[in-house]
Chain A
Amino acid sequence: DQQVKQNSPSLSVQEGRISILNCDYTNSMFDYFLWYKKYPAEGPTFLISISSIKDKNEDGRFTVFLNKSAKHLSLHIVPSQPGDSAVYFCAARNNFNKFYFGSGTKLNVKP
Chain B
Amino acid sequence: DSGVTQTPKHLITATGQRVTLRCSPRSGDLSVYWYQQSLDQGLQFLIQYYNGEERAKGNILERFSAQQFPDLHSELNLSSLELGDSALYFCASSNRQGSYGYTFGSGTRLTVV
Interface residues, chain A, CB within 8 Å of chain B? 6, 9, 32, 34, 36, 41-46, 49, 89, 91, 93, 96-104
Contacts and interface: CB of A to CB of B under 8 A. Distances in A.
A43 B101 contact: no
Interface of B: 2, 4, 6, 35, 40-43, 45, 48, 56, 90, 92, 96-107
A32 B56 CA distance: 19
B99 A43 contact: no
Contacts of A6: 42
A34 B101 contact: yes
A98 B2 contact: no
Given A43-B90, A43-B105, A46-B103, A97 B97 contact: yes
A101 B42 contact: yes
A36 B58 CA distance: 20
Contact of B42 (A43, A93, A102): A102
Residue from B99, B102, B105 with most neighbouring chain A CB atoms (10 Å): B102
Contact of B101 (A9, A42, A91): A91
Contacts of A98: 45, 48, 56, 98
Nearest to A43: B104
Contacts of A46: 101-103
